[in-house]
Chains A and B, each alone.
Chain A
Amino acid sequence: MFQLKGGLYPLTALQLLGSNLALFEEQLALKIQQAPKFFHHAPVVIELQKLNPADISINFKELVAILSRKKLIPVGIRGGHPTQQAAATEAGLAILTEGGKELSKSQTQPEKSAEQTVQATTNPDTSNEADIKGTPTKIITEPVRSGQQVYARGGDLIVLAPVSHGSELLADGHIHIYGPLRGRALAGVTGDSTARIFCQSLEAELISIAGEYKISEDIDQSFWRLGVEISIEAGRLHIRPL
């Protein structure tokens, strides 16, 4: 039902220089103000190498809370004393080796999409088509029924049939639906914000690209039942009639 694969991903490193977390939060807020988009939901690694050896006790739980408040996603720590590493593990952080080898793929993704990928690989009802390997683009010709989940790993998903209420399409790349979209469609689930969704009739329960999402209620009614293209523009979901 799933595959484990290694991967190397660019991450922002946050070098901690002191253990005063109040001061840290203040300075972080200033930094984020300068480039809010760069930091928004960015996965970060906390580096402890530059820390004064005297600052042994770091409250990692508080540190994680601060980062979360600032919409950053703490992934793990690098370096540090064994006591610090134990405290970091306690706070749910991974301990990364110097080469970053312990970093698993899902941890580099924004939390939301990580959650969705896990769902995609554990659902027992996934249709047979979902198991075809070796083709980056997955083509589905049968209707996708309520309760079914189809995931195009590492590529695009093309559906040549209706997508029912209560079904879910996921793709690392684009999603094309040559029929009505009545279920959920999540493109760019591993974080590709250039991914797009195309459908012939927008009647979706949820649409999402790279974690940005809209539920049915929030979709502008003027696009309802139209053929549309959905993309991310200026960080937000943008719907355009085809």
Chain B
Amino acid sequence: MVKSESKIIVVTSGKGGVGKTTTSAAIGAELANRGHKTVVVDFDIGLRNLDLIMGCERRVIFDFVNVIQSDANLSQALIKDKRNENLFILPASQTRDKDALTAEGVERVLADLRKEFAFIICDSPAGIERGALLALRYADEAIIVTNPEVSSVRDSDRIIGVLNSRTQRAEQNLEIKKHLLLTRYAQGRVQRGEMLSVEDVQEILAIPLLGIIPESTAVLNASNSGVPVTLGPVSDAKRAYQQAVAVLLGEESQSRQKGWKSKILEGLKLFTRSPA
């Protein structure tokens, strides 16, 4: 019954505030835009945010913990997006804490989701404790969200180590595919030496680059209005997320082509010149 192409992708970072939830929403919505049935699961039990970012906070009745504890079934807890029929969210519980998640419960719910969805995006909480560990435990692939600064890079490095040792795939000696997504990238500040460059970050993390998301007012606007960046108006960030999803789907194998990165950076430079 499991859809052969069904994929569990964890969006993780170790560090908080780098853009995991924004990225989960934007990538989930873009996958849905492209016709893939997608669910975004909020693992941040007790600090629920995904519903706000995706603009469905007033429609939450049951949540992830209710499903794990069999107080509700999956179809009752899943919220269908009003803008895109391929997009669903499974909200976190706000009144519980991460201890409410059990490995067996999470595994069972994810297995059920696999029967329905092509892509399951797990929005991980910050840290390397229970919630974060369970969010990545059953993942097939991982998107590591990193800001171009040293503390974020170090935390990402730590989480890559955790992915290599604590996931079910790692325990079965299977590879877990890892993608680096640089967010809040400001070309001007990199040039002034206030931020690490793409090369600096890649040198340390040594995983393939999925994309570079510029520091953008579009991201802030998207969060405040509850519209995922990729469902909102045209912007530099929207284009960057669309590009990242193309690479994620393997439609563009440009990550190996020379010049792909510089093309993105060129684009960013244009945007930094135009007043926002």
Contacts and interface: CB of A to CB of B under 8 A. Distances in A.
B48 interface: no
A162 B154 contact: no
A67 B33 CA distance: 74
A70 interface: no
B109 interface: no
B169 interface: no
A166 B155 CA distance: 10
A148 B161 contact: yes
B165 A143 contact: no
A164 B164 contact: no
B36 interface: no
A142 B178 CA distance: 14
B236 interface: no
Contact of A165 (B154, B160, B170): B154
Most chain-A Cβ atoms within 10 A of its Cβ — which of B160, B161, B206?
Answer: B161
A165 B161 CA distance: 12
Nearest to A165: B154
B90 to A, nearest CB: 29
B156 to A, nearest CB: 9
Contacts of A146: 154-155, 157-158, 161
B161 A127 contact: yes
Interface in B130-182: 154-155, 157-158, 160-162, 164-165, 170
Contacts of A145: 157-158, 160-161, 164
A142 B157 contact: no
B154 A127 contact: no
A136 interface: no
B204 interface: yes
A206 interface: no
B206 A147 contact: no
A228 interface: no
Interface size for chain A: under 10, 10 to 19, 20 to 34, or 35 or more residues? 10 to 19
Contacts, number: 41
Nearest to A147: B158
A127 B171 CA distance: 11
Contacts of B161: 125, 127, 145-148, 167
Nearest to A161: B206
B162 A142 contact: no
B157 A127 contact: no
Nearest to A179: B206
A127 B206 contact: no
Contacts of A166: 154, 157-158
Interface string A206-231: 00000000000000000000000000
Contacts of A148: 161, 165
B165 A125 contact: yes
A32 to B, nearest CB: 44
Interface in A127-175: 127-128, 142-143, 145-148, 161-162, 164-167
A147 B163 CA distance: 12
Nearest to A127: B165
B166 to A, nearest CB: 8
A213 to B, nearest CB: 22
A61 to B, nearest CB: 41
A202 to B, nearest CB: 16
A165 B204 CA distance: 9
Contacts of B157: 145-146, 164-166
Contacts of A127: 161, 164-165
23 contacts: A125-B161, A125-B165, A127-B161, A127-B165, A128-B170, A142-B164, A143-B206, A145-B160, A145-B161, A146-B155, A147-B158, A148-B161, A161-B206, A162-B204, A162-B206, A164-B157, A164-B204, A165-B157, A165-B204, A166-B154, A166-B157, A167-B161, A182-B204
Question: Which 5 pairs across A and B sit closest by C-beta, in order of nearness?
Answer: A145-B161, A146-B158, A146-B157, A147-B158, A148-B161
